[in-house]
Amino acid sequence: MNLTEEALLLENAEILRRYRGLLRAASKQISDPADKKKIRKAFNLALDAHKDMRRKSGEPYIFHPIAVARIVAEEIGLGTTAIIASVLHDTVEDTDLTLDDMERLFGKKVRNIIDGLTKIEGVFDFTESIQAENFKKIILTLSEDVRVILIKIADRLHNMRTLDHMRRDKQLKIASETMYLYAPLAHRLGLFNIKSELEDLALRYLEPDVYNEIEQKLQKSKEVRDRFITSFVGPIRRALSADNLRFDVKGRTKSIHSIWNKIKNKGVPFDEIYDIFAIRIILDVVPEKEKAEIWRTYSIITDIYQPKPDRLRDWISFPRANGYESLHTTVMSPTGKWVEVQIRSRRMDEVAEKGYAAHWKYKGENGETGLDEWLLKVRELLDNFREGEALELLDSFKLNLFNDEIYLFTPKGELRTLPAGSTALDFAYEIHSELGDHCLGAKVNNKLLPLSHKLASGDQVEIISSSRQRPHEDWLGFVVSGKAKTRIKSALKEEKRKVAEEGKEILKRKLRRLKINYSDADAQKMLQHFGLDEPLDLFYQIGKGGIGSQQIRDFYKNEGVRSWYKYLSQKFSRNPEIKKRTAAGGKEILQKIKQEENQLLLGDNLDAVDYNLAPCCNPIPGDEVFGFVTVNEGIKIHKTNCPNAVSLLSNYAYRVIKAKWTGSQIPAFLVGIYITGFDEVGMVNRITKLISNQMKVNIRSLSFDSNDGIFEGRMTLFVEHTRHLDELLNKIKEVKGVLRVERITENSSNT
C-alpha cells in the first residue's frame, strides 16, 4: 500500500490518539507510574512488530490490539498484566516475537497468557466436533489463568465490531461461533454487557433481515417509549428523593437478540412484548446497607405501583452462579402496562455489567472464590469425560448455562446451586460423585423422600446413602444436572464393561465344554439370535446370567444357522406387505420392493450384515440389484436382470430384500469381458497396455485365441463401478481393429 507522507503522519497521530484513549480508559486500574511505563513498552514493541501489517479494512493492524486492550481495561475492568498481554496478544502468532521474548521483557505471567491465547487462536473451526474439542481446550487453559479467556472474549468482541470488512462466508462462520461459544461463555463469566453485544452483533450477520426489522421498530417506538418512561419514573424519583436515597434511574431497552428470542420462542409479536425495556434503579449505598436499602426502595415503588406477585426475583439473597445480584419486580403502570423494575446497588450494577473482574475489585485481590468455584465445577465435569465425548460435554455445559437455577442448602446450611428441575439425586451428585453413586433417598426439609424427588429453591437436603447402592439405568430418567448425568453414564458403562468382560470368559469356558471354538463371527450371529445390538450387550447378558448354558447350546444345536436366516428376513420384511407378496411375477415384485424403506446397503463396511455376490450374474457396483436371503449362505446379491432372477422373485418373493450400492470406498469387483477383432501385430499388447497403464485396471486373467485373422480374447478384470467398466469398454472399442467388446455374464461366456 502506498501512502503519502502526509497520510502516514495522520495515521501515526491516530495511533497515538488511540493509545492515549487506552491509557485513559485504564486510568482507574493503573495508578502506579511503573505500570504505565510497562504498558508503554508493550505498546512500542507491538507497534514495531505489527508495523507492516494491515487489517482487512486497510487500517494499521495495531488498531486491533489497542482496541482489545481497551475493552479489557474499560469493559471488563482488568489491570496491567492483562492490558500488556492484550496489546501483545497477536505478536507471537503473527510476528517474529517469541514467547521467550515475552517472558524476558514482561515476566512469566504475560508469557503464559499469550501462550494460552496463541494456542486457542487458529484451532477454532466451525465443525461441531472440533469445536467441542476446542471448547475443552479453552476451559482447560482458562483454569490456568482466567485472563486468557477474558482477553479472548475481548478479542472476539473487537473482531465482531469490525466484521463488516470480512467476506460473507467468514462473517457467517465467525458470527456462528460467537453465538454458539463466546456469548454463552461471556454469560457464564457474568459479562452481561459483552454477552448482549456479542449476541446482537452475531444476529446482525446471521439474520440481517430480522435484525434490521427489530432495530427499525425499536427506533420508531423510541420516542413514545421515552415519554412513557419519563412519566412512569417521575413519581418514583420524587418518592425516593423524599426518603433521602441517593440513586440513578436508567431505562434499559432489551437487546435485539433477546427480543428476537421472545418473538421466536413465545410467538409474541413485537408490539406485545411488555418487557421490551426495564427500569433500573441504581442505589449509591455502602455495602453494609445494600440489602436494606434495596428492599426499602422496593417497598416505596410497590406503594406507588401494584406489583405482579409471581414476578418477584430475589437475586440479592441468592446471587446467581455467575455472580449476578439484583432485585427484579414487575409492576403495573397507570396506563395498564406491566413494567419490569430492577433494583440494585452501584456495586451490583458494575458486577452485572463487567462480571467477575468487578467482583474481585470489591472483594480485594484474594476474593476470587466465586470464579474458582465455577472453574472447579467445570474441571470436575471435564475429569468425568473421556476423549471424544467433548461434544456431549459442550451439550451438558450449555444445558447448565441456559437452565434456570434453584438454590438449595446442605444440612449445615451451605448454599448449592443446581439447574431447575433437579432431584435429590442431582443434589447428591453435586455434593460428591461417590455420594451420588450410593444415594438411597433424601431427607428434604426433614421429610424422607425418594431420590427422584424434585427439589425446589430453598429446600434443605440431607442425602441418605448406603455402600451397597449402585447407579441404576433408570436414574438417567430423572437427573437433570450435567454432572449427575455424566457420572451415572460412566459408572453404568464401567459396570457393564466389567460384567461383560467376565461374560466373555464364561462364554469361552462354556464353549470349551461343548468342544466349540469361540469365534467373533459366531458371537455376531448370537447377537441376532438373541436380538441384541452389540457384543458388549451379549457378553453382559451372559455375565449377568440372562443368557445361560441351555440357550447357548440351543443356539449351536439347531438355531445357529436358522436364526441367521430368521433375523435377516425379520430385519428386511417387517412390512406385512412383503409377506403378502404373491408369485405374481418378477417385475411386479421388483416394483414393490423398490418402494420399500428397508434396504441393504452394499459396500458399506459398517453394516453388520454379510452378503455375497451371486456367481450366476456377478453384479458389480452400479448394477441394479436385489438381495436374496439364502438358508445357508446369508444374503446373495443378484442383478435384477440375472437369468435366475425371475424364478427367485416369483417363487421366493418373501426372501427378497431391497439392496443398493453405496457410493464410497467400494473395493474392486471382478468382471469378465469379451473382445473380438482383426488379429493385427501387437494387438494383444495394445489392449493390455490400454487396460493396465491408461485405465489403471488390474487384469486377473486373460486368454487370446486367433483364427483366420480374427482374434477372440477373454479377460477378467478388477473394476470399481459400472461407470468405470463402461468407460473401459468404450476405450477398447476405439482401438483400431477391435470389432466388438462386451461384458461377459455367466450365460454368454458359456456359449
Q: Which residues are catalytic?
A: 93-94
Query: Per CB under 5 A, which region of 111-119, 153-161, 259-267, 334-342 contacts Mn ion?
Result: 153-161
Residue 200 near Mn ion by CB under 5 A? no
Tell me whether residue 87 or residue 393 sits nearer to Mn ion (CB atom).
Answer: 87
Tell me whether residue 90 or residue 426 sits nearer to Mn ion (CB atom).
Answer: 90
Q: How many residues does the chain have?
A: 751
Tell me whether residue 90 or residue 145 sits nearer to Mn ion (CB atom).
Answer: 90
Burial class of residue 245 (count of CB atoms within 10 Å of its CB; 0-12, 13-18, 19+):
middle
Nearest residue to Mn ion, by Cβ distance, number only: 155
Quickly count: other Cβ atoms within 10 Å of residue 85's Cβ: 31
User: How far, in Å, are 588, 593, 601, 605 from residue 657 at the CA level?
Assistant: 14, 7, 11, 18
Query: Per CB under 5 A, which region of 152-160, 391-399, 488-496, 546-554 contacts Mn ion?
Result: 152-160
- Work out how close the CB of 526 gets to Mn ion at its nearest, in angstroms, rounded to a whole number: 57
409 torsion bin: left (phi>0), alpha (psi -120 to 50), beta (else):
beta
Query: Per CB under 5 A, which region of 23-31, 69-77, 86-94, 740-748 contacts Mn ion?
Result: 86-94
Quickly count: other Cβ atoms within 10 Å of residue 557's Cβ: 9
- Cβ atoms of 717 and 673 within 8 Å: the answer is yes
**Chain-centroid distance, C-alpha 449:** 36
Residue 155 near Mn ion by CB under 5 A? yes
Tell me whether residue 84 or residue 593 sits nearer to Mn ion (CB atom).
Answer: 84
Q: Minimal CA–CA distance to 623: which of 610, 640, 603, 598?
A: 640
User: How far, in Å, are 64, 203, 211, 301, 499 from residue 57 at the CA level?
Assistant: 11, 21, 23, 50, 62
- Work out how close the CB of 78 gets to Mn ion at its nearest, in angstroms, rounded to a whole number: 16
Q: Minimal CA–CA distance to 324: which of 186, 499, 146?
A: 186
Query: Per CB under 5 A, which region of 84-92, 133-141, 203-211, 274-282 contacts Mn ion?
Result: 84-92
Burial class of residue 3 (count of CB atoms within 10 Å of its CB; 0-12, 13-18, 19+):
exposed
The interface mask with Mn ion, positions 34-73, x = CB under 5 A, is ----------------------------------------
Burial class of residue 96 (count of CB atoms within 10 Å of its CB; 0-12, 13-18, 19+):
exposed
- Work out how close the CB of 26 gets to Mn ion at its nearest, in angstroms, rounded to a whole number: 18
| # residues near Mn ion by CB under 5 A | 2
Tell me whether residue 155 or residue 199 sits nearer to Mn ion (CB atom).
Answer: 155
Question: What is the distance between the alpha carbons of residues 660 and 657, in angstroms, rounded to a whole number?
Answer: 10
- Work out how close the CB of 692 gets to Mn ion at its nearest, in angstroms, rounded to a whole number: 55
- Work out how close the CB of 155 gets to Mn ion at its nearest, in angstroms, rounded to a whole number: 4
Q: Which three cell numbers stand for residue 81?
A: 498484566
- Cβ atoms of 609 and 635 within 8 Å: the answer is yes
Residue 349 near Mn ion by CB under 5 A? no
Query: Per CB under 5 A, which region of 87-95, 506-514, 594-602, 627-635 contacts Mn ion?
Result: 87-95
Tell me whether residue 122 or residue 336 sits nearer to Mn ion (CB atom).
Answer: 122
- Work out how close the CB of 166 gets to Mn ion at its nearest, in angstroms, rounded to a whole number: 13
Residue 90 near Mn ion by CB under 5 A? yes
Beta strands in 427-498 (DSSP E): 439-444, 447-450, 461-465
Tell me whether residue 62 or residue 202 sits nearer to Mn ion (CB atom).
Answer: 62
Question: What is the distance between the alpha carbons of residues 576 and 590, in angstroms, rounded to a whole number?
Answer: 16
Chain residues that interact with Mn ion, rule: CB under 5 A: 90, 155
